[in-house]
Structure 1
């Protein structure tokens, strides 16, 4: 007898209901609807991706190294690297380091003779670049000021009106804004402002100050009514003064766009001081010679009682 065939019904695929809401797609940190996904894809605004490489030369003084570390703590968007030999090839080496760190700017502290500190402020790789002589250095550890702001918060940048007078000051202002300004929504920064960077020009020097924005609060840690009117600034530190030497068109070199006519190198200042000291010593020697000649020309009269007490 033949086997009976089982009657199986063929499954008909169900039609999709277009009117029913579609299931949202799974995202990395939760569910995301299609409308949100489309809105994020359609948004194409400017995002500041500024990254600053901060490094120094070998044989740097401990005081200048502490200044560099203070700036690293104030700039959450910076990346620190090991020391670089300050030779003629430092430009190519630093440009490669900036490219490896996926950065766009560089602050290079160069120390010479364990005395003089130079700061290179560079936009890499196309330029421009500025070379400063750093004077009047005071670190946070030296000053012991009472101000204390949150680390990683975004600073407000303020400039004196002198920056809008000449072309080279305008260029320096734009470079300072790009390098010292913390990008918005940076992963290491806080989304509010509680301190101020002050850049002011006095005697053709740029003076830097860092102040905390202090607002009075009550015992329950709430802002006092009208506290914004009673806002005060408390200095945090560090302090330093930048004397611009030259502005170059390229990165760590190139054509000279500006040269400070009032700049005098520290070597020349020390040489002048040595000459002044040498001049004082030469005057003393000449005075001794004149005294000897005067004694020879005008000898003293012989003393009658000189041999009285001799045996």
Structure 2
């Protein structure tokens, strides 16, 4: 018979056995991925903004353009095939307006934004710079904790822009800050690099400074839905005015200005016809002298 020796309490485990034990044992690993895609007819500036978002989010995946006339529910199927739980959809209309959707697939919720004041990284040419693929530090304004719809926005931004820890495409550094500030009901997005003083040996809050990198934009929330790209409306922004309505109001203002000019010209002609100037008796004196000289 073969005798088997039981391992003693002071024995050390084998090195090969240690390698087989995963590091993430007992913890749940975050596998959030973001699908980024756009609609057809997107302009060059909005396309560059989308490419900047792809660089800021190493856990994102890009897909081909989507026809806006098709059902947006197809995006949920594309996200499922790509293995993504979050979607950032850039929808361009009339080659002027940009709408951005943030959605959790396939059950929701989802938020629709109107994006304005878009400035890309290549356009700004700021002095800041940070490592590509580094994990960002998300900074939210205090106003995001005051109202329910802003709390939902904070959660959506966290799921979309927070890079999962130990992601294969990310770097184990945090050298930039994504700032979300709520002013006048709109969300202002800024990206800053965290720099340290040259004389500083150990990192501390006193020797740190922020340098803007870009991109930057202003997102105005329009509606929030319980489902993904649709469903019951959770929040409707009462202060939102569509850009089509703003352009129509500007055209009406120009038309009113032109109408006032035409009306003033007609009033002037009527006034001149009703009040003729008296005839000057010396009007033809020089003309008659010239004729006599000939």
Structures share fold, TM-score greater than 0.5: yes
CA contact (8 A) 2:196 2:203 kept: no
Q: Distance in 1 between matches of 2:273 and 2:262?
A: 17
- Structure 2: where are the runs of 5+ without partners? 8-12
CA contact (8 A) 2:112 2:223 kept: yes
How many pairs are equivalent? 283
Please state if 1:70 is matched with 2:52: yes
1:63-102 aligned at under 5 Å gives the runs: 63-89=45-71, 91-102=72-83
State which of 246, 253, 269 in structure 2 corresponds to 1:276.
253
Tell me whether 225-234 or 68-77 shows the greater mean CA deviation: 225-234
State which of 221, 225, 230 in structure 2 corresponds to 1:244.
221
CA contact (8 A) 2:179 2:189 kept: yes
CA contact (8 A) 1:50 1:105 kept: yes
Quote the residue 2:32 is aligned against: 50
Alpha-carbon shift at residue 20 of structure 1 (Å): 9.1
Across the aligned residues of Structure 1 and Structure 2, the Cα RMSD in angstroms comes to 2.2
1:85-164 aligned at under 5 Å gives the runs: 85-89=67-71, 91-164=72-145
Q: Distance in 1 between matches of 2:203 and 2:45?
A: 42
What do the CA deviations read for 1:27-53 (whole angstroms, capped 9, x no partner)?
xxxx721x664x549934211110100
1:1-311 aligned at under 5 Å gives the runs: 16=2, 18-19=4-5, 32-33=16-17, 37=20, 39-40=21-22, 43-89=25-71, 91-217=72-198, 223-224=200-201, 228-308=205-285, 309=287
Q: Secondary structure of the equivalent of 2:106?
A: coil
TM value normalised by structure 1 = 0.86
TM value normalised by structure 2 = 0.90
Alpha-carbon shift at residue 92 of structure 1 (Å): 1.9
- Structure 1: where are the runs of 5+ without partners? 1-14, 26-30
Q: Distance in 2 between matches of 1:56 and 1:42?
A: 35
Q: Distance in 1 between matches of 2:35 and 2:203?
A: 41
CA contact (8 A) 2:134 2:170 kept: yes
CA contact (8 A) 1:216 1:227 kept: no
Q: Distance in 2 between matches of 1:276 and 1:187?
A: 55
Shift of the 41–203 alpha-carbon distance from structure 1 to 2, 3 Å rule, reads: closer
Q: Secondary structure of the equivalent of 2:135?
A: strand
Quote the residue 2:10 is aligned against: none
